[in-house]
Amino acid sequence: MKWWALVVVIVAAGLLPSMVAAQGINTNVALAVAEDEGIFRSQLRYRRATDDPSGMGRELDALVAPQTLVYGITPRLTAFATLPILAQRWVRMGDGSVNTDSAVGDFRLLGRYTFFADDYAPLSTRRLALLAGMKFPTGADRFGTPSFDPIFGAVGTWAANRHELDLDALYTVTTKRHDVEAGDQFRYDLAYRYRVWPGRFKGRLLQLNGTLELNGQWAGKSRTDGSTVAASGGSVLFLSPGAQFITKRFILEASVLVPIWQDLNGPQLEDDFTAVLSVRIPFALGLR
């Protein structure tokens, strides 16, 4: 997909009427999406990795643009549909050659059910929710896996006026297809959000949040044709500062994920950082 196409998607989404909903940047939240209302989120994620333990001098630059639609089915049940509509990767070899490729990634459909909600004070709540869904093999070989993989998890949110804590855990059970089986995946996140401005709301809704997150990922080793892929799987933990600017019609977000611990299997490239930019557009469908 060309760059202009991504710009068109973002601009078109900006024409939708909306209501504001604040959420984490890299962490799931248990906050509700109102019934028959939704959120469109267009995100750019740029990853840089240059530490090559193989001695081949490889360097990686990757750009992915996950596009997400969120829809409130009931006050407690919310659906999430995510597709990386643009993905491009540049791999520079030690001899100076560059390999590039791009493709659509794997589609993911999730449902979130809030089973506990306690709005104990103005702008304050405690919520717990369960997550379940499926990863579908819509991506190309190097941007996805050929299997249908179930996903399970949970998320909790505690908000008290200017402060918010979010904690999630998400496990993907990978399956075997076409003699290929990626390793299971486990994601866990902890986020703190603070409303920097305003100290108190007075009329028009404008808001600036600062965020700080811990984002962890683990993956098991992959198997191909019955053999284990040595250079696959492992663990990484990121420290991720960020910011959100919220208006009545859109939310702008930025974050940088900096690895503070990496334990990868075999000679895999280690991350330098991942930079994230996104726009979030709430909207009302009015189906009922």
User: In the structure, what pLDDT confidence band is assigned to residue 131 with cuts at 50, 70 and 90?
Assistant: very high
pLDDT, mean of residues 172-191: 93
Q: How many CB atoms are located within 10 Å of the residue 121 CB?
A: 10
- The residue that leads in pLDDT, 86 or 243, is 243
Phi, psi of 11 (to 5 degrees): -65, -40
Domain ranges across the chain: 3-41+70-81+106-284
Q: What is the pLDDT of residues 193-239, one digit of tens each?
A: 999 998 887 766 789 999 999 999 999 999 988 889 998 999 999 99
User: In the structure, what pLDDT confidence band is assigned to residue 179 with cuts at 50, 70 and 90?
Assistant: confident
Mean pLDDT of the chain: 88
The sign of the torsion formed by the CA atoms of 265, 100, 181, 129 equals positive
State which H helix or E strand residue 12 sits in.
Answer: helix 3-13
What distance in Å separates the CA atoms of residue 51 and residue 73, rounded to the nearest whole number? 45
- The residue that leads in pLDDT, 5 or 234, is 234
The whole model's pTM is what? Answer: 0.88
Assess whether pLDDT exceeds 70 at residue 4: no
Assess whether pLDDT exceeds 70 at residue 6: no
Of 115-119, 198-202, 256-260, 272-276, which range is least confident?
198-202
Q: Which amino acid is at 199?
A: G
- Burial label for 255, CB within 10 Å (0-12, 13-18, 19+), is buried
pLDDT, mean of residues 111-131: 95
What distance in Å separates the CA atoms of residue 84 and residue 42, rounded to the nearest whole number? 10
User: In the structure, what pLDDT confidence band is assigned to residue 133 with cuts at 50, 70 and 90?
Assistant: very high
Q: Which amino acid is at 73?
A: I
Assess whether pLDDT exceeds 60 at residue 288: no
Which single residue is written with the structure tokens 């977000």? 253
